[in-house]
Amino acid sequence: MTQVGEPAAPAVPPAPPPVKTLAVALVHVKFESGIDIYDVEKGGKVKPLPAGGTPHWGAGAVCPAVYVREGGAGETKDLKIKVKWKQTDCDGKASLHGESGDGKIKIDGDFDIAGDNGEKEVNCRFSKKPGTVANYGKGIDFSWKVTAGGKTVTATGAAALLLFFVDAKPKPIAGANWPYEKYYLRVIDWATQWAEGKQGEAAVFKDLWGKFSYKTFWKGEERAHVPHATGFSYWPHDDAGRLAQGLNKVVEPGYAAANGWSCRGIAHLFMECLALHGIQCKEVIPLTPKPMAKAFLVHNWEITLAPEPNWYDEPGDHYGGTWVKTPTTPPLYREVRTGLKKKVDAAISPPPPEKPLKIEFQKKSGVPAQGQASPPLFFSNHWIVEYQGKLYDTSYGIEHKSTDITDYGKRALAGWLVKVLPDGAAQSGHLWWINPEPAGMAFVCHKFADHTLIKHVEASN
């Protein structure tokens, strides 16, 4: 015991616990959905997004990614996030959790922290995704939390990500005439906007087709959209070489807006929208049976119920009016009045009466194509899409009830353009007097049953 007068030894206080500190920053994000994305620059150059091996987010890059929605066929969930830390006394197990501002997307991953300073690429997974088609192409806000050593902090970085969610794993399209990279960013944006909030093939297809066709009061049939959601116009001029004939031109910035798009470009856009959502389809090309027919008359013509042949020795020839070219004004031809009549050889006995020809094939009004109220009068070929036992004319917005090309033709085509006769043309003993102002061309047409439409199937998935 302490003696009186002796000093007491001071008590030694316990050492204070170390102060835990933790700061974490996200360095990069790499999405691993297995779905490749490509962009097309002005001038047609194709580039992958992101460039090979580089992150989707980080080092100044912000690139989009496509995943299959929650529960969709072929769904993937993996991604990698690189984190960098500075810490004290938080060594050991750590977890990373990210959540979108709307709560529809959650991302989680586990890793180990060791050392005061360090970095690691963390294998992460989507723990929650939207259950329907979704488009976050303009960015979605994320907040990130890291927990380690019993301490939870907010991580910096990757505050906004670009994400698209499709209905099912995409089905790549293949074919000799399908030379495109898969999948174009602009198509991804359209295809997810147009089917946003939907799930399942039937609902997604209905919404996508709805951007090419809708119910109107014109004979109760579906029709194309004027204007179209893309803003593009169908065949606004007569220079086919300038039209957006292929998907790569449809998605090139400014190209189709300046030059218009064709039936092929429209069909390929629709096919790629379907393929992106895992929907199977085929490219079908109806062809004119040359040399018997020059072109076919699509949707916007009608023939009189009881045609009266204009030429007694050519009863199958029907007059389709006289037209002058208007290369920059749809429908690219303008009908003109004419003194066209038939004159016969006086040696024929008895000579048929000389009289003006009767127009038996008439151009109809009110039949639009995508983005175009007055589409061209005829084509030598056409592009449509086959899906689940039906043919879909994407240019004119019309659904056909089977894949039989003859049935398609009976409903879609008025007939055939077989000749174009200029002023003063003489042929087979006939003489046509064509005196319009300006000079025009007489169209000679045949009924649809006179020739056989050819069905050519190209690309499919």
CATH number of the domain where residue 129 is located: 2.60.40
Looking at the domain assignment, is residue 4 inside a domain? no
Do both 128 and 269 map to the same domain? Answer: no
Look at 434 and 84; give whichever has higher pLDDT: 84
Looking at the domain assignment, is residue 208 inside a domain? yes
pLDDT, residue 205, reads 98
Looking at the domain assignment, is residue 176 inside a domain? no
Do both 222 and 162 map to the same domain? Answer: no
Do both 290 and 414 map to the same domain? Answer: yes
Do both 360 and 432 map to the same domain? Answer: yes
Strand 160-166 relative to strand 65-68, pairing: parallel
Do both 123 and 271 map to the same domain? Answer: no
Residue 422 has pLDDT above 90, yes or no: no
Looking at the domain assignment, is residue 190 inside a domain? no
Q: Are 222 and 397 in contact (CB under 8 A)?
A: yes
In whole angstroms, give the CA distance from residue 231 to residue 226. Answer: 9
Residue 437 has pLDDT above 70, yes or no: no
Looking at the domain assignment, is residue 187 inside a domain? no
Do both 209 and 150 map to the same domain? Answer: no
Residue 188 has pLDDT above 90, yes or no: yes
Do both 364 and 408 map to the same domain? Answer: yes
Do both 413 and 305 map to the same domain? Answer: yes
Phi and psi at residue 216, to the nearest 5°: -130, 180
Q: Are 133 and 195 in contact (CB under 8 A)?
A: yes
**Which residues does 284 contact at the CB level (< 8 Å), separation at least 6?**
383, 384, 385, 386, 391, 403, 405, 455, 456, 457, 458
pLDDT, residue 214, reads 85
pLDDT, residue 178, reads 87
Looking at the domain assignment, is residue 234 inside a domain? yes
**How high is the mean pLDDT of the chain?**
89
Do both 153 and 264 map to the same domain? Answer: no
Residue 220 has pLDDT above 70, yes or no: no
Number of domains in the chain: 2
Do both 90 and 141 map to the same domain? Answer: yes
pLDDT, residue 219, reads 59
**Three-state SS at 95:** strand
Domain stop point among 141, 166, 191: 166
Asked whether the whole model's pTM tops 0.75, one would answer yes
Looking at the domain assignment, is residue 15 inside a domain? no
Domain that holds residue 333: 200-461
Do both 141 and 213 map to the same domain? Answer: no
How many of the other CB atoms lie within 10 Å of CB of 159? Answer: 14
Looking at the domain assignment, is residue 261 inside a domain? yes
Do both 247 and 396 map to the same domain? Answer: yes
Span 49-64, pLDDT tens digits: 999 889 999 988 899 9
How many of the other CB atoms lie within 10 Å of CB of 191? Answer: 31
Q: Are 209 and 388 in contact (CB under 8 A)?
A: no
